[in-house]
Chains A and B, each alone.
Chain A
Amino acid sequence: MIDWTAFLVVAVVTWVAALAIVAAYSFGVRLLAVAKDGGRSQGVSKAGAYACFVVCGLIVALGVVLIVPQLSEAILGISSSH
């Protein structure tokens, strides 16, 4: 008996997570490039860029918390049977 939903879960989670992280990091890189151009809103762009990198790290941290049973129980209150 093959659990096809498990494969679907792996596919969707992989795509969503990877795309979200890459999007966040790419926006950060773009904003840094904009900041390098100079101009008025240099500081705002730079702050935005670092905010993007932080989002990137948060997504990864969330992923790790979900995987480790002890952490997901302690932080999110979910006891995962998987």
Chain B
Amino acid sequence: MDLTLIVVLVIALALFFDFTNGFHDTANAMATPIATGAISPKKAVALAAILNLVGAFLSTEVAKTISGGIINEDPTTGVAIGPAMIFAGLMGAVIWNLFTWLLGLPSSSSHALFGGLVGAAIVGAGFASVNYSVLLSKVLLPAICAPLIAGISAYLCTKLAYAITKRENGASPKRGGFRYGQIFSSSLVALSHGTNDAQKTMGIITLTLVASGLQDSDSGVQFWVVATCAFAIALGTYTGGWRIIATMGSGLTDVKPAQGFAAEMSTASAILTSSHLGFALSTTQVASGSVIGSGMGRKGGEVRWGTAGRIALGWLFTLPAAGIVGGIAAAITHLGNIGIVIVAVAGTGAMLAIWFISRKQPHDHESNISDIDNSGAAVNILSKKERRAKAKAEAKQARAAATQKEADNS
């Protein structure tokens, strides 16, 4: 197969991945202000698309992590893996992503991407082709740390927002003002999403250009790559928005404006800072950390650890699972040109099949309009009545224990 044809194939698939990423994640940023009525759905979707576009132009640190860090360089060919291998990895990521979407499993498109890439590299070029210290310090550890950092931030911010706006003598705190703040904070989340997620595709395309000898390995990301990735993610965001509008009104987690503002500010800060240091994060995971943290920060918030654990398990699963699919695809491409054709045809077939199945069956999982919403379910916020009942029960228990103790002593 012609070298340039495979490069074009990889770029097309990468942009498709970018598009689905935007498509999938619009809800994460814009669902809350739409739900609280702070902004009309049409405006929200357009705003999210524009900010994703702008965000993609802000930085290239994450792209450099992917193009110049994770895969080891080969002194003779520049990069240890060829474009065919990247194609295989990308195919693994896309298929795993669509598969989890079909089953309604929580997953991270970013981790699917890294899983597929690493799996393909290991199968295609051996264990030495992956730089594990970069993988650990720029992908795996941030995956654990960033949601935690964002969660703690959201917890503190929620407490702070309620403390500052609390008023004495029963005067109304008018926290409705946070609704308009949420337009602002959601916009920042959309911006940070463009900054971190669009760069992953830029990194993949740059890696491909380097691997096929079209670009020096130590040079940065080319402008046309930045621009096409920015447009792909913005288009995906815009298209994905219409799906949200269609399913709007389905049970959104109970998020109060002040709490949502605190959560979104924490998400945006964490993602933007991480992007600047080249950490390739899953924006969904960071946002989920914030939603859980801010829920805990509210009066009477308690975490349903079972639900939270199930979501975390789904995330844990993504990297190795996508790695296996990517690895299998890489093994097939070893057959040569015919292998690449098999991967391309089988992959496209799998995508179409998943799409047709999803048309046929009713979408239970789509009633939850975003992954963040799933995470919101991990926090249970007790109403005033429930809190009182709980305190009463606890007091009763304590009294019973005290009388028991007295009885024992006498």
Contacts and interface: CB of A to CB of B under 8 A. Distances in A.
B182 to A, nearest CB: 10
A14 B174 contact: no
A17 B269 contact: yes
B171 interface: yes
Contacts of B188: 60
Interface string A6-49: 11011101110111011101111110110011000000000000
Nearest to B262: A22
B178 interface: yes
Nearest to A57: B184
Interface stretch (B11-19, B24-32, B145-153, B373-381): B145-153
Nearest to A30: B165
Contacts of B178: 25, 29
Contacts of B274: 10
A25 B173 CA distance: 13
Bin chain A's interface residue count.
Answer: 35 or more
A66 B272 CA distance: 10
B59 interface: yes
A19 B160 contact: yes
A7 B156 contact: no
B137 interface: yes
Interface of A: 1-3, 6-7, 9-11, 13-15, 17-19, 21-23, 25-30, 32-33, 36-37, 56-57, 60, 63-64, 66-69, 82
Given A22-B161, A23-B164, A67-B58, 5 more contacts: A1-B133, A11-B145, A14-B150, A18-B154, A30-B164
